[in-house]
Amino acid sequence: MILEENMAAGADLSCPFITLEDNYDNISTAEDESLANVKHLTSGKPPRHHSAVQHCVTSARLLSGTDLGLDSAGDGNSSPSNEKMEFAPVLHSGCCAERGPKDYMEDEHICINNLVDHLGETTGCPSPQALYGVFDGHGGTDAAVFVRDNILTFILEDAHFPIAMEKAIKSAFLKADYAFADASSLDISSGTTALVALIFGRTIMVANLGDCRAVLGRRGRAIELSNDHKPNCTSERLRIERLGGVVYDGYLNGQLSVSRALGDWHMKGTKGSACPLIAEPELQEMILTEEDEFLIMGCDGLWDVMSSQCAVTIVRKELMIHNDPQRCSRELVREALKHNTCDNLTVIVVCFSQDPPPRIEITQTRIRRSISTEGLNLLKGVLDLNT
């Protein structure tokens, strides 16, 4: 076993880690090469179980209006300085899914870097569009698989798309929940969280429902783009109690560890009725700039044992070495396994540039220091004693 201390360039490493090289016989990857630099966050027992790891990697360039030949004469902001500020994301992504110590794999995920190619038609948004999603199932896989297979359709077919994206996405989540309840061949008592990221040009929209998390890496700093929906969160607890529910030992009605989920119809009652467990996502929207380097999406199996900043530090360091988001996602999964995560693991890493992150230069400033007369005399005395 090789041990080597690492630190991501230019980042304030709040979680020191050590490189470990070990043998993972039952983790199969698209590239069969060992990683000599696996970070160690804290000491712990080796993972209890391993199973086959699923990977996917894709890449695409997001075209600007100029690339599409669109008329921008009415923009009035086409000066050279503004053109320099224009950032055109170039997407390449990778993902890794691992059963971990659990007996069954209940996570699902989706990675589509180019929706135009995927759909065979445009949707009226800046092209190509991209979609990424992580769905952490519980009580079986039916809900997670159903949402993975249908959420894009519900979004695109919503009457508000693409004019009012927030309304379209929220409506799509609710329609998916209702459609799942009507699926007689499926186990509607199963449930799933859902984390979906949509990219249209330079705009990224993140919709989250449950305890998966999306984290943006901005020049080595972690920017969380979602909130974990846990029953013991103050705002969620107040909403639950207002609707007649209870939070017992961190669980909604003593049964569920999340306060928002799709499915779980044994806990929701009839459609449209007020219920502590809701299927409404929270959305965050932002415009990407050249300082935004990558996005990490992961289920709670990752975040239970790793902070957002730690994940960003690891990914940035790895990208500076090999610039491969697939290997980065695999690296995060390995780290979570080493720290004895108790859950399935699914991680997606999406990079916004073809180039690796730049090294961050820290400018050292001159600080003038002075010493008091008493201190100078004390120092002189010590030096005199040593002569």
Is 355 a residue whose pLDDT tops 50? yes
CA atoms lying within 13 Å on the CB side of residue 19: 14
CATH code at 3-67+86-360: 3.60.40.10
Confidence grade of residue 307 (pLDDT, cut at 50, 70, 90): very high
Q: How many residues does the chain have?
A: 387
Locate 336 and state its tokens.
């979570």
Which amino acid would we find at residue 13? L
The DSSP element (H or E) to which 186 belongs, if any, is none
pLDDT bracket for residue 370 (50, 70, 90) = confident
| Residue 273 token pair | 């009725």
Report the C-alpha gap between 364 and 346 in whole angstroms: 40
Give the burial class of 181: count Cβ atoms within 10 A of its Cβ; 0-12 exposed, 13-18 middle, 19 or more buried: middle
- In the predicted structure, residue 385 carries a pLDDT above the cut 70: no
What is the overall mean pLDDT for the chain?
82
Full-model pTM: 0.76
Question: Which pLDDT tens digit goes with each residue over 326-351?
Answer: 999 999 999 999 999 999 999 999 99
The 10s digit of each residue's pLDDT in 136-173 is: 999 999 999 999 999 999 999 999 999 999 999 999 99
Contact (CB, 8 A) for 196 and 207 = yes
**pLDDT above 70 covers what percent of the chain?**
73
pLDDT category of residue 87 using cuts at 50, 70 and 90? confident
Answer yes or no: is pLDDT of 73 > 60: no
Q: Taking each helix axis as running N to C, give the angle between helix 165-181 and helix 142-156, from 0 to 180 degrees, rounded to the nearest 10.
A: 140
Q: What pLDDT sits at residue 159? A: 96
pLDDT tens column, 241-273: 999 999 999 999 999 999 999 999 999 989 989
Q: What share of the chain is helix, strand, coil (3-state, %, to 5)?
A: 25, 25, 50
According to the model, what pLDDT value does residue 66 have?
38
The helix or strand, by DSSP H or E, that contains position 65, with its residue range, turns out to be none
C-alpha distances (whole Å) from 5 to each of 102, 264, 314, 324 are 31, 45, 12, 21
Residue where the block lists tokens 């060992």: 34
Residue 36 has pLDDT above 60, yes or no: no
Q: What whole-number distance in Å separates Cα of residue 86 and Cα of residue 77?
A: 11
User: Of 265 and 124, which is predicted with more confidence?
Assistant: 265
